[in-house]
Amino acid sequence: MIRLAFGDVPNIHEDPAALKELQDDIYRERVLRARKMNVAERLADVFELSNHQFGIMLGGAMHRLGTRDEVAGWEEVKRWMERLDRVREFGHYLPFCSTKGWIRCGLPLTPHETNARH
């Protein structure tokens, strides 16, 4: 129980079944909401998530640099993104898809590339 000014509130984490039910409800709500969205709404969500992620990266960069200077933070984020691009261009980073395995530019890997990964 969590004691608040207006009374005791059960701690959802103390009951695994209640926590699982809450997680399922949240997931179900998100899926149903996404299914109702049109293309423009989905695209707007993508941009919102992207902006949020860049904000998180900016905060992390500024923390790593030990600064409050946003310009320096953005320079660090830019450096991170350029490094990620270089790694991807050299083929060192290949995203993994649980249904397709390792993916190269959206295409399944050749048998040689697949064997090299194992």
100 pLDDT more than 50: yes
Q: How confident is the model at residue 85 (pLDDT cuts 50, 70, 90)?
A: confident
User: What number is the average pLDDT over the span 41-45?
Assistant: 90
Alpha carbons 59 and 68: distance in angstroms, whole number: 9
Per-residue confidence (pLDDT) for residue 90, from 0 to 100: 74
3-state helix, strand, coil in the chain (%, to 5): 65, 10, 20
118 pLDDT more than 60: no
Alpha carbons 70 and 111: distance in angstroms, whole number: 46
Q: Which amino acid is at 13?
A: H
User: What number is the average pLDDT over the span 75-90?
Assistant: 87
